[in-house]
Amino acid sequence: MVDVSKKPETLRKAVASGSIRMKSQTLKMIKENKIVKGDVLTIANIAGIFAAKNVASLIPMAHPLMISHCALSFKFSPTGIIIEATVTIKAATGVEMEALTAVSVAALTIYDMCKAVDRGMVIQDICLIKKTGGRSGTYVSK
The one catalytic residue among 3, 112, 118, 125: 112
Is 3 among the catalytic positions?
no
DSSP letters, 8-59, are PPEEEEEEEEEEEE--HHHHHHHHTT--TT--HHHHHHHHHHHHHHTGGGTS
Residue 76's contacts (CB-CB under 8 Å, 6 or more residues apart) are 27, 31, 82
Catalytic residues: 112
